[in-house]
Amino acid sequence: MHPRSVPVTLKGVKMKIAVVGSNRGIGLEITKKLKADGHEVFAFCRKTSDELEKVNVKKVVTDFEVTSIDEMSSKLKSLNEHDFDALIHVSGILRSDTFEDFNVGDITTQFRVNSLGPILSSKAFKPYLKQNAKVALLTSRMGSIEDNSSGDMYGYRMSKAALNMAGKNLAHDYKADGITVLMLHPGYVQTDMTNNNGNVTAKESAEKLVDLILKKGFSESGTFWHMNGEQLPW
């Protein structure tokens, strides 16, 4: 049977899942949620944290640098694990800016981490994903051109818009393997990134994101979703 014709329903099934950016914030809460639901979770991050160590995942992989495909590929080769059912890429950074204080260095860094990082990790993981796996990329509605009603945040907005385009491309490149690619907005979440401002906790966001990832299938590959289930405009 061609992989495109195989229905993919991951809900209720124990899965092997990689979470990139798992040591704090939304990534940590996604890791906790998946572990609590009985999945086999591999946590990838630059540095571990006390909170992550308490989750007792299958394996914590540190020094996982999302801007270097060579370093990620080396870590994955050493890990010697295959057949991941899902890759969830959470890692990202935010640097505030306006037209008046447009900082090329900060903006370039955001592009490297927010736009290139998720695609590089998707490339690094490609040999280790099952057919019909899922790739979930944490993006932001701030990358939606249609939804931009306030301006500012040049680097973050542009880097997330670029990620949305890259994710759409990735959905085409993964089509032959039946792999579903989803772009997900977590909401305005209370994390270190937002100075703990926001209207939803990281735990609440993570629970809804995990549910969304499990529900969406191949027919919706390449689409852009709010964690509350609303499809977002480009």
Which sequence spans correspond to the domains of the chain? 15-226
Residue 234: both structure tokens together? 């480009």
Beta-sheet strand order (sheet of 84-89)? 59-61, 40-44, 16-20, 84-89, 129-138, 180-185, 223-226
Neighbours of 63 (CB within 10 A): 13
Is 208 in a helix, a strand, or coil? helix
At residue 5, the pLDDT reads 34
At residue 18, the pLDDT reads 98
At residue 13, the pLDDT reads 80
CATH class of segment(s) 15-226? alpha beta
At residue 11, the pLDDT reads 52
At residue 197, the pLDDT reads 67
What residues contact 215, with CB distance under 8 A and at least 6 apart?
11
The answer to whether the pTM exceeds 0.85 is: yes
At residue 3, the pLDDT reads 40
Phi and psi at 153, nearest 5°, equal 55, 50
Largest distance between two CA atoms of the chain: 56
Rounded to whole angstroms, what are the CA distances from 3 to 30, 81, 188, 200? 27, 22, 36, 37
Neighbours of 162 (CB within 10 A): 18
At residue 1, the pLDDT reads 34
At residue 6, the pLDDT reads 36
Residue found under tokens 């809804």: 208
For the chain, 234 residues long, the average pLDDT of each consecutive 10-residue run is 38 87 97 97 97 97 98 98 98 92 95 98 98 97 94 95 98 97 92 69 95 96 97 96
